[in-house]
A and B are shown apart, each in its own frame.
Chain A
Amino acid sequence: MEKSLVINPDKCTGCLQCELACSYENEGVFNPSKSRIKVFTFHQEGRFVPYTCTQCSEAWCQQACPVDAISLNPVTGAKEVNESSCVGCKVCTISCPFGTINYNQSSGKVIKCDLCGGNPKCVEACPTQAITYVDADQTGLDKMRQWATETDNSSSTNTANA
């Protein structure tokens, strides 16, 4: 079963544990500047929003890459960068509408979320479940459940009886 990252900004506290876990998994150091997931702080509004690649089905980055360095992992659904093929031309960073694929100065290649091969470390590290990893067909389940709990059974019954 393919799974997707689901982000609920309302639960995020801006602690950056996701960025630490991501950079440690992928770079071997704790380094938010090399994280594939980023938390944005909107100070005036008092909001924190984690943001990363949503693994488009028809991925702009993949279409744009002139050397076919970006491929689909059929198990996880992630679009993964093949480091040995990537030439660091950055065309994918221009084509991605969301800005979630970026150049890495240290390696001369691009980096993006690859779902850690199906075991995303950001999900494990998030202390508030603001980032979860769920059935790709049911990413709206939590929101549906929330609305479902607010459905007023008694009033609809009353209406039916009236």
Chain B
Amino acid sequence: MSWAGKLLRVNLTTAEITTESLNEEWKNDYLGSRGLASKYLSEEIDPACDPLSAENKMIMATGPLTGTSAATAGRYVVVTKGPLTNCIACSNSGGFIGAEMKNAGWDMVIFEGKSPKPVYLYVENDKAELLDADEIWGTSVWNTDEWLHNKHQDPLLRIAAVGRPAENGCFYAGIVNDLHRAAGRSGVGSVMASKNLKAVAIRGTKGVGNISDPEGFMKAVNEGKAVLAENPVTGQGLPAYGTQVLMNVINEIGALPAHNMKDVQFDGAHAISGEAMHEPRKSDGKPNLTTNAACFGCTIACGRISTIDQGHFSVENKSQYWGNSGGLEYEAAWALGADNGVDDLDALTYVNFICNEEGFDPITFGATVAAAMEMYEDGVLTKEQTGGIEFNFGSALALTKAADWVAANEGFGVDLALGSKRLCEKYGRPELSMTVKGQEFPAYDPRGIQGIGLNYATSNRGACHVRGYTVASEVLGIPEKTDPLTAEGKPGLVKAFQDATGAVDSSGICLFTTFAWSLDNIAPQVEAACGGGWTAERLAEVGERIWNLEREFNLKAGITSADDTLPARLRTEAAKTGPAKGLVSKVEEMMPEYYELRGWSTDGVPTEETRKKLGLS
């Protein structure tokens, strides 16, 4: 059956912890992880609630494959109402704690209410208790991790925690697990801290069993691994360069947003690319990249382990940053680098370390700094407001200072912790915020990759690439090549990617497998693990059901079709260079067909027929 079949319910207000059986009907309709947790959240909270109030709940959830030997099956999600977007939020993370939760015998943990004092949840198989977190409140994720390992005298404890920005109400704080993996987006860490919950520490020794068809499972899993090993992206590109394999590729096709999306190409792209991370530094002859690294059960191993040049200004006299830690992934390198016009690899790596140490989203942070830099260059912000330093595009000093300020909630960092939407509104320039539903864009320009723009505009958690990664088709030709510059056929492509992604996320494996796998590769693994007739078609239907469930949550939260759009810059200011020169995003042209394919009214509301077809009640 592969599910543990049980969930922990932690009432932080009363400190009561109870256990429940997993809802059988829901798990058949929503599979697990993202889907199942979204169903629980939709049933249990008012979508219109204040995300930072005790009324909101936060769910950590695994999928049925999490903890098994299926390749990449270590994922978990955090589902809640997000403060950055006021939409349903689902942030997905790897590392090891998801599998540990499953090993301890739990499919999910539901946190509700608000603790009267700082606490952390300690789980050791069946034992779960809330313990005092006074000593770690006000400290970083990395400090919290060390403190908990020491306190429990258990090096094998797996830990997820929030840092200082979450405690201070930063709108884009994440939850960091295993030191440098993160449920990073939409401000899920701020929700956790708003409940006075500092960390979750788990040790599980029960293991994951109950495989429905063990022999069939090993066969399907081994076949899946072979496909990943033979695929050029998952077998070679990602292990060698990580997601950073994309930096030069996306720049060349003119879809690398730069300077707060004023440009679609960046002169310094190579200097901050995956290739550059392999090149020896002038100072000590070592490359930025030490090694690649895997999350639990991952046979791809795209993770980056890096060092910063000890002579770099950002780490002068800060020996705590001289060792190895999680290095740059493409989205972070883009947001911190190209979007700010900064081509200093060491500065970006430093800020990435700080984002991990203190738990805030490098995409939203980087894009917020970019908006601030544009306002500074426009004269809206002055040096007095930006901590006494020049805040121009290209300034590595401004970028690193900004990270330090957000981490400590100091000076201009208080403004930057708002995210770009609230920051730009505060200073009277809302049009400079490159966001959808309050969430900043990732690293693909919708003028140069038309389909991804429609995905951004309709994504249920605000602008996001991992809700429907049409870049795979439009740029990499997976599963088949489509022209990135045209809108034709993209509504169908976007819908197919969004639905498939919902199923992948809900199974407990990593989306990156889909560079090589389709649902046809995933279904046999889910079926052998779970039993009960899991086909590729059923998985796609589960994905579509999840998409509509999330949509209905957002509609009840106050989102309308007017929110399904892109900032005016992308719809009216044409790309200046590259293959997309002269093009704007055709998102408005694509939207009616998208709504129709989704079975939604012209107002973007699922019709009764659609709701009936998907069994939404």
- Residues on A lying within 8 angstroms of B by beta carbon are 13-17, 20-21, 23-24, 27-34, 43-48, 105, 125, 127-128
Contacts and interface: CB of A to CB of B under 8 A. Distances in A.
Contact of B207 (A31, A48, A128): A31
Given A15-B301, A17-B297, A46 B290 contact: yes
24 contacts: A13-B239, A13-B291, A13-B293, A13-B298, A13-B303, A14-B293, A15-B294, A15-B297, A15-B301, A17-B297, A17-B299, A24-B69, A27-B207, A29-B209, A32-B99, A32-B103, A33-B103, A33-B156, A34-B205, A43-B325, A45-B323, A46-B290, A48-B293, A125-B69
A14 B291 CA distance: 11
Interface residues of B, number: 35
Contacts of B291: 13, 46-48
Nearest to A47: B291
Contacts of B325: 43
Contact of A31 (B103, B229, B298): B103
Contacts of A125: 69
Closest A-B pairs by Cβ, 9 of them: A31-B207, A29-B207, A15-B294, A46-B324, A44-B323, A46-B290, A127-B299, A13-B301, A29-B209
Nearest to B291: A46
Contact of B205 (A21, A24, A33): A33
B269 interface: no
Interface in B69-91: 69
B219 interface: no
Interface of B: 67-69, 96, 99, 103, 156, 179, 204-209, 225, 229, 239, 290-299, 301, 303, 305-307, 323-325
B105 to A, nearest CB: 11
A150 B179 CA distance: 38
Nearest to B307: A46
Given A15-B296, A45-B324, A31 B206 contact: yes
A125 B301 CA distance: 14
B206 A20 contact: no
Given A15-B297, A16-B296, 10 more contacts: A13-B293, A14-B294, A17-B297, A27-B207, A29-B206, A30-B209, A32-B99, A45-B324, A47-B291, A127-B301
B326 to A, nearest CB: 9
Given A27-B207, A29-B208, A30-B208, A44 B324 contact: yes
Main secondary structure of the interface of B (DSSP, over half): loop
Nearest to A125: B69
B301 A43 contact: no
A150 to B, nearest CB: 19
A127 B228 CA distance: 10
Contacts of B205: 31, 33-34, 105
A96 B321 CA distance: 37
B293 A20 contact: no
Nearest to B180: A43
Contacts of A34: 205, 207
Contacts of A128: 301
A125 B299 CA distance: 9
Contacts of A20: 68-69, 297
A28 B209 CA distance: 7
B206 A21 contact: no
B69 A21 contact: yes
Nearest to B302: A13
Nearest to A124: B222
Contacts of B306: 46
Contacts of B323: 43-45
A16 B99 CA distance: 11
Contacts of A15: 294-299, 301
A84 to B, nearest CB: 23
Interface centre among A15, A31, A43 (most CB of B within 10 A): A15
A19 to B, nearest CB: 9
Nearest to A126: B299
Contacts of B229: 127
A104 to B, nearest CB: 10
Nearest to B103: A31
Contacts of B206: 29, 31
Contacts of B295: 15
